[in-house]
Amino acid sequence: MNEDDFDFPDIDIDFPDVFIERLSFDDIEIPTNLKPSQRRFLRVYARARGSIEEMARKAGISPRTFYNWRDNDPDFKEALENVNADMVDVAKSNLLVNIQEGDSRSTIFFLKRYCGSKWGTTTDLPRKGRK
């Protein structure tokens, strides 16, 4: 039997246009149960992405204060972990937006990262002069 012998039904499916919105690190929520200085640091941390020393200075605290909060304040540690997770979500969302917009580098990155061996790496491809 070949495909000419099969009667395919007409299927009319209306898919809505669904687009992922580009997110910003400004969209990350900072918990209200923290000290104002802790909240200020987390806002800088979510936006700046630099060394702890630089971010602490921008937030008006010492790096030692940050490490003390992280190591001894469970609420701050949890908030820091949540901000880190939110930052990953922002990055993933923006990667998908780039793919929707036709960015080939983002598409290739996604396929290599999420489809693994099916897409391989550039080192797996034959190169001129190599066998």
| C-alpha to C-alpha distance for 51 and 116, rounded to whole angstroms | 32
Task: Note the pLDDT of residue 96.
Answer: 87
Between 33 and 3, the more confident residue is: 33
pLDDT at 76 over 90: yes
Can you give the residue ranges of every domain in the chain?
Answer: 34-122
Of 31, 25, 35, 33, nearest to 80 by C-alpha is 31
| C-alpha to C-alpha distance for 62 and 20, rounded to whole angstroms | 38
Q: Confidence band (pLDDT; 50, 70, 90) for 17?
A: low
| C-alpha to C-alpha distance for 46 and 115, rounded to whole angstroms | 29
| C-alpha to C-alpha distance for 35 and 72, rounded to whole angstroms | 14
As a whole number, mean pLDDT of residues 87-106 equals 87
| C-alpha to C-alpha distance for 80 and 46, rounded to whole angstroms | 9
Q: Who contacts 31 (Cβ-Cβ below 8 Å, separation ≥6)?
A: 39, 75, 79, 82
CB atoms within 10 A of CB 7: 5
Q: Who contacts 119 (Cβ-Cβ below 8 Å, separation ≥6)?
A: 108, 111, 112
Q: What are the tokens at 85?
A: 């997770």
Structure pTM? 0.65
Q: What percent of the chain has pLDDT over 70?
A: 69
Q: What are the tokens at 61?
A: 């605290």
Q: What pLDDT, in 10s, does the model give residues 27-63? A: 788 888 999 999 999 989 888 777 899 999 999 999 9
